[in-house]
Amino acid sequence: MAILVDKNSKIIVQGITGSEGSFHAAQCLEYGDNVVGGVTPGKGGQTALDGKVPVFNSCAEARAETGANVSLIFVPPPFAADAIMEAAAAGIELIVCITEGIPIAQMVEVKAYVETTGSRFIGPNCPGILTPDEAKVGIMPGFIAQKGSVGVISKSGTLTYEAVHQLCSEGLGQSTCIGIGGDPIIGATMRELLEMFEADPATDAIVMIGEIGGSMEIEAAHYAKDNVSKPVIGFIAGQTAPPGRRMGHAGAIVSGADESAAAKKKLMAECGLIVVESPADIGRTVKSTLNK
């Protein structure tokens, strides 16, 4: 069991004929993914990845021909917003956009549109999703993870990898790992993913990695307090960041007192989450929590 993607997911790659798209699509295929097609306007009828994957002109065409239910997007920033909305318009159930640098104004439009469809959207500017031994949809290196029962949600790609490493070092595998991205406007939120992990019988604990800026972690903590029975281990990056200065991600900027690392950590602890001070503490904290 997993959330969002598994071995039965049928994946298309938008931008598969570009350098990034072809490289990472090949990595996904090698991991064992069912990559059923690619999309590049004007190149329909061709093949990619040494003839292994058919290329279509549009998401609608790819879905009709392959039954695809997941789209992985490696389209350049000027065209990525349209690519996301095209996938949603085609009825793709899950859309994962890796592209970074999409203007915020465009993402406001994208988010509003996707919410009118039946699609779920992860990203942009994210590493994607990894369900160990089943599906890799994005750029996460599959070899770092192992199958298990700890769900991982993270704004940071690098800290996703670090959390997985710490868990594996303690002999703990993962049910699904999700990098949601750190832009100001993103698709699926921590609260939504907590709900999904809570409903997943194969997930016994959840790691939630946030950062300064915005209110997503606060909303997730309030939700977890009343709705999540599984232990949630949280970490907030950016503890030494000065107010008003962006740190790394476009969304990582403190604009209010309750958006600082200290304020978020305090609120999370008050809501019953187990807050760690360092990513190095994640693995052993999860292990000790599960062994109680």
Taking the CA atoms of 66, 55, 125 and 111 in sequence, report the sign of the dihedral they define.
negative
What's the confidence (pLDDT) of residue 241?
A: 54
What's the confidence (pLDDT) of residue 207?
A: 98
Task: Output the six-digit token pair for 18.
Answer: 């570009």
Q: Establish whether 249 is a catalytic residue.
A: yes
Task: Scan for tokens 């009828």, then name that residue.
Answer: 45
What's the confidence (pLDDT) of residue 40?
A: 98
Calpha distance 76→135 (Å, rounded) = 24
What's the confidence (pLDDT) of residue 46?
A: 98
- 145-290 and 10-122 share a CATH fold: yes
Calpha distance 75→84 (Å, rounded) = 9
What's the confidence (pLDDT) of residue 253?
A: 47
Q: What are phi and psi of 138, to 5 degrees?
A: 145, -150
Q: Where are the domains of the chain?
A: 10-122, 145-290
Calculated CA dihedral for residues 205, 126, 22, 133, nearest 10 degrees: 0
Contacts of 157 by beta carbon, 8 Å cutoff, 6+ apart: 126, 127, 139, 140, 179
What's the confidence (pLDDT) of residue 242?
A: 58
Question: CA geometry: angle at 186 spanning 181 and 189, to 5°?
Answer: 85
Task: Scan for tokens 């389209």, then name that residue.
Answer: 75
What's the confidence (pLDDT) of residue 162?
A: 95
CATH of domain 145-290: 3.40.50.261
Calculated CA dihedral for residues 161, 152, 156, 179, nearest 10 degrees: 100
> What CATH number matches the domain at 10-122, 3.40.50.720, 1.10.3720.10, 3.40.50.2300, 3.10.20.30?
3.40.50.720
Per-residue pLDDT of the chain (292 residues; tens, 9 = 90+): 689 999 999 999 999 999 999 999 999 999 999 999 999 999 999 999 999 999 999 999 999 999 999 999 999 999 999 999 999 999 999 999 999 999 999 999 999 999 999 999 999 999 999 999 999 999 999 999 999 999 999 998 899 999 999 999 999 999 999 999 989 999 999 999 999 999 999 999 999 999 988 889 999 999 999 999 999 999 998 775 555 555 554 444 445 546 788 889 999 999 999 999 999 999 999 999 999 8
DSSP-assigned states of every residue in 52-88? TEEEESSHHHHHHHH---EEEE---HHHHHHHHHHHH
What's the confidence (pLDDT) of residue 254?
A: 47
- List the catalytic residue out of 24, 165, 222, 249: 249
Calpha distance 14→92 (Å, rounded) = 12
What's the confidence (pLDDT) of residue 252?
A: 44
